Structure 1
């Protein structure tokens, strides 16, 4: 008998679910397997061990010569490159002994440790990458400039204000723990109110089902483009990243350019929604929205735009529509959205069968993946930026970063239903079925190459969630005209790139459906940077891909009225 008795399987899942609460959803196997793989191969690699020892001796020699030159009054070149380990080193004391020597010792040790972590021949590629990732994050935590007793940038500020910053930092720490315990938003978020200062573009909810609301925004011009725009946000967060404060709202920008804009607002799932499937987000979300827009504005093409996970499900819907002969899409825009997951970035480091099973058991216990687990995963990926920097600024120096609308939105998190998230992780992350030709919708396989609507892709340079090289790979699987934009910023801030935003630039290029493939590095090297916001280039592209016909705006009084924007679901 090979099948596990049901009650024994339940015991296993309950035990792993309990452990997951302690580990914040991270499978211990992912860490231990990488370490054991490294330790085994390192022990069997005497040549690598000698190489590490020789490099250590060379580093010691370089450091000794550098110290001798420094002590004799010379200004030698640093023996080790910083390679990003430069946080909190503004004070000139870092350029003179003893702190300069401490910094160089640490940099030399860091390069040696990373080399040793990744060097053994024969390791699994994923374990080699994991070891490098873990080593770098440990080194970040141990860096001398992260130590308030060593870093002069820190202790000089503490001494200058007589410890007032430390007292304020303690108050910040207590306040943050109290807010977390009572499930309150972070300090300062109360200054941003959904429906008033955020998600405040006027509109009406015109459709609602058990998964989403469809918002139609009031027109702002006397005539509008014939083709409406449907915005499909990710359901991992609230929709209003695309409708933040009036000054940086993508919705308000599009309405001001003469477009009729519809927005999906996803309902925040609860434990009762544990069996919501990934395809429900296509059928009850994207397709239901398209059907309602068609009913309200019959005979018109639709510009469909998806952000992040919303872009992934929109691409799946578009390929399904193409397979079935549904030609309603005038264009397809995908913002920081992956369709190929073979290079899905740092999130993939700890997504394997063990990790997915671990998450499944945790979600099985609760019915959803809650917000704390998702927030914890993102903090681990960017620990130096999101954890160490915050500890020093907020709790040691007592200097809080001013709350912004984007930060307030980021704190307004949602849950993920058990079945959907399991299908997403297994079918897309682990097995990459969509670009492998094995993703089926309603029993039949779909293919991205069937999409014949022109496509507008946006990747962001500092994206930890959907690396731009991965977003760019859509071109490998498409048989249509593709315009690709690479913009400055990260996964969220790069998309919120309103005209007038300082220090924003982008690269853009278009490839015909029959053009030869150009790899992302070569493309980026050849594309000239342009100053300003990619929103303007996208708006011009949308107008060019439509009929250019201008029509009377839709009669909002004749539309269904299920409540004013931002609707009901955004508050769940």
Structure 2
């Protein structure tokens, strides 16, 4: 028995063939349920297969890369020779290792690549060979995109993105027979993990009404208003698009000037109020701010015609009116997060044209106004793809939030997609409860008119930065925004890249404080001082190249929140007695309110 255990192959051999066969039968049975969950909504006309257009777009783009290399026989031969050279080097090193000689890896993964951390990827020659062959092949494919001359920037970006998605999908870490950890687990459990995984897959397809709704956390452990979004406050106003929350003070005195936060409508606002430890809202209240929060509605087809301008008027401008009624103050500090910041910039440019000076300072958290460097989301934005999107979105009157969730997952598929596929459907394990991922799954729809306008006019045409947007016949100019502005970018942001935020901030006409935080779009923003994580950089007003600015910026440990708080108080330090929410205007309901509780159907 000990000899068998000492054999390195023993852990990959099924020890109970009868149990394995029974589980294989159960696996096939559960697979039939998954297929049925996929087919049934399509037979009833409740779901439609949309992959043809997507595949056509991918093949067309990759075809342009192939055309470049195949159009010249010498180029094609040289490209093939580079690939075969990598394979021959791998073969040579593998033979040396097999014969007991010293060898070196022909290809090694990036140290940050978590897919190949199991020791067997290096210690077992079979799995090591698979890993290196995969790395050689995918890096060669990347080089074909980089080396294809004559491509426009958008096509090259799309091709690089599609190649990366294909490479991530075919990784040997994603398959039972080529992943040592998965194979060991399958053998040791006699395939029980695969049965559990297929059962979960069927459940998730059924939950997605025919599409896979990937579970990234245990959603039963969280409930909005009970252990999420629990900072005390009152809803003091509402209209068709938003509720306005005023939070209860925790200090005897507060800043005279109120603070309004405008979150993105792509997700629900409570990312800024996840729990007491990580809540930006609670922290601001504790620093003596009177905080108001916009809580956007989860729109249905009845709001299909609501435009970007409607969001500005019924969101920001209406909230300024309501805040004045609630506090008696006409001057307000306003903060916009992500697309909420883009909306805020549009509102400021419009207000500058109208002579409306109610916004005294503006803060932009990972918000883009110049979309020249908007990152991989631009992969999905060109005339053809927007035409397809418009057709799909107009059928319902809104874009389902799950579409954007899948898109964001694809931007970081090796972190947000494939690890959950492996954990859920191959290991058969429930994901851990994680409040951030619960929020991420709590998707929100977007009205057709608003979303189409946003994607076309901002991402495709970059019309705002070019001065080609107008409201009431007046062009909107970033240079006319002269209120003090605080711009936060995050260094690893894959949604609003730091360079994109920086170039937009440089176009403002007033004093700008530029800050770059460590981490990404969510963790870099929601980084409470008590956590003691990451860092942030400060420097002069943005100008020139972002790379030069960040290279000369001053690094500070910890959260950027105290820096922002000090900046806000520098522009208004007058204190008044703490305000009771709704005291002057009445209360509609307790925070977090009905709108955020609505679950997209």
CA distance in 1, matches of 2:557, 2:186: 40
Aligned residue pair count: 550
Equivalent residue for 1:104, pick from 132, 142, 145: 132
**Deviation (angstroms), 1:164:** 4.5
**Deviation (angstroms), 1:163:** 4.3
- Residue 428 of structure 1 is matched in structure 2 by 458
Equivalent residue for 2:368, pick from 330, 338, 341: 338
Q: Does 1:535 align with 2:561?
A: yes
- Residue 8 of structure 1 is matched in structure 2 by none
- Residue 419 of structure 1 is matched in structure 2 by 449
Query: In terms of mean alpha carbon deviation, does 274-283 or 181-190 score higher?
Result: 181-190
User: What SS is found at the alignment partner of 1:247?
Assistant: coil
Equivalent residue for 1:474, pick from 495, 504, 507: 504
CA distance in 2, matches of 1:479, 1:421: 28
> What is the 5 A alignment of 1:109-120?
109-120=137-148
CA distance in 1, matches of 2:462, 2:547: 23
> What is the 5 A alignment of 1:214-253?
214-253=244-283
Equivalent residue for 1:58, pick from 85, 89, 93: 85
Q: In the alignment, is the contact (CA less than 8 A) between 2:90 and 2:105 conserved in 1? A: no
- Residue 462 of structure 1 is matched in structure 2 by 492
Q: In the alignment, is the contact (CA less than 8 A) between 1:27 and 1:358 conserved in 2? A: no
Q: Deviations over 1:151-182 (max 9, x none)?
A: 22222233445544444434433443343349
CA distance in 1, matches of 2:331, 2:96: 71
**Deviation (angstroms), 1:362:** 1.0
Query: In terms of mean alpha carbon deviation, does 264-273 or 519-528 score higher?
Result: 519-528
- Residue 3 of structure 1 is matched in structure 2 by none
**Deviation (angstroms), 1:319:** 1.7
- Residue 550 of structure 1 is matched in structure 2 by 575
- Residue 10 of structure 1 is matched in structure 2 by none
Q: Deviations over 1:387-428 (max 9, x none)?
A: 321111112223333122211111111111111111111111
Q: In the alignment, is the contact (CA less than 8 A) between 1:25 and 1:373 conserved in 2? A: no
> Would the alpha carbon gap of residues 503 and 441 (structure 1) be closer, same or farther in structure 2, given more than 3 Å must change?
same
Equivalent residue for 2:590, pick from 545, 564, 568: 564
**Deviation (angstroms), 1:67:** 2.5
Q: Deviations over 1:425-455 (max 9, x none)?
A: 1111111011111111121101111112221
CA distance in 1, matches of 2:173, 2:526: 32
CA distance in 1, matches of 2:53, 2:415: 20
Query: In terms of mean alpha carbon deviation, does 168-177 or 24-33 score higher?
Result: 24-33
Query: In terms of mean alpha carbon deviation, does 158-167 or 416-425 score higher?
Result: 158-167
> What is the 5 A alignment of 1:103-502?
103-181=131-209, 188-501=218-531
Q: In the alignment, is the contact (CA less than 8 A) between 2:266 and 2:401 conserved in 1? A: no
- Residue 42 of structure 2 is matched in structure 1 by none
> Would the alpha carbon gap of residues 399 and 500 (structure 1) be closer, same or farther in structure 2, given more than 3 Å must change?
farther
CA distance in 2, matches of 1:326, 1:290: 11
CA distance in 1, matches of 2:389, 2:436: 28
> Would the alpha carbon gap of residues 292 and 315 (structure 1) be closer, same or farther in structure 2, given more than 3 Å must change?
same
- Residue 21 of structure 2 is matched in structure 1 by none
Q: Deviations over 1:260-293 (max 9, x none)?
A: 0001111111111111111001111111111221
> Would the alpha carbon gap of residues 299 and 378 (structure 1) be closer, same or farther in structure 2, given more than 3 Å must change?
closer
Query: In terms of mean alpha carbon deviation, does 96-105 or 250-259 score higher?
Result: 96-105
**Deviation (angstroms), 1:74:** 4.8
Query: In terms of mean alpha carbon deviation, does 225-234 or 89-98 score higher?
Result: 89-98
User: What SS is found at the alignment partner of 1:472?
Assistant: helix
Q: Deviations over 1:352-371 (max 9, x none)?
A: 01111111111111111112
**Deviation (angstroms), 1:215:** 1.0
User: What SS is found at the alignment partner of 1:82?
Assistant: coil
Q: In the alignment, is the contact (CA less than 8 A) between 1:24 and 1:376 conserved in 2? A: no
**Deviation (angstroms), 1:24:** 6.4
TM-score between the two structures when normalised by the length of structure 2: 0.85
Q: Deviations over 1:181-230 (max 9, x none)?
A: 49999562232211221122111111111111111111110000111110
User: What SS is found at the alignment partner of 2:506?
Assistant: helix
Q: Does 1:82 align with 2:109?
A: yes
Q: In the alignment, is the contact (CA less than 8 A) between 2:65 and 2:144 conserved in 1? A: no
TM-score between the two structures when normalised by the length of structure 1: 0.90
Structure 2: unaligned runs, 5 residues or longer: 1-44
**Deviation (angstroms), 1:243:** 1.5
CA distance in 2, matches of 1:350, 1:507: 31
